[in-house]
Amino acid sequence: MTLSIFLIAYYVFIFLFVVFALFAIYHLARFVPPSSVAFFTTYIFLAGAAIIIFAAWQEIQQIDWTQIFFSLDTIPSL
């Protein structure tokens, strides 16, 4: 088993985050009266999410995802 299993789990998490973020932004646009506070809050949320995803992307690029994480061949048989 390679480390790529963690990358797949990360992609699933990012997908769910994007779905919930779009859901939250839709509700902000639909049900919150237009004001500078609502705009500022939405902007801070999107900017923070973009910074976190960009930083994670930078760190993920440095990992060798083909490295073996767990192998059944290394377990001694009884």
pLDDT of 26-59, one tens digit each? Answer: 988 888 888 888 889 889 999 999 999 999 999 9
In this predicted structure, what is the pLDDT of residue 65? Answer: 82
The answer to whether residue 74 is domain-embedded is no
The mean pLDDT of 60-68, rounded to a whole number, is 86
Our count of domains for the chain comes to 1
* Residue 78, pLDDT score: 60
35 lies in some domain: yes
Who wins on pLDDT, 62 or 67? 62
In a domain, 76, yes or no: no
The H-or-E segment that residue 49 falls in is helix 36-60
**Domain range enclosing 19:** 4-69
* 56 is a domain residue: yes
Position 24 pLDDT exceeds 70:
yes
Task: Count other Cβ atoms within 10 Å, centred on residue 62.
Answer: 6
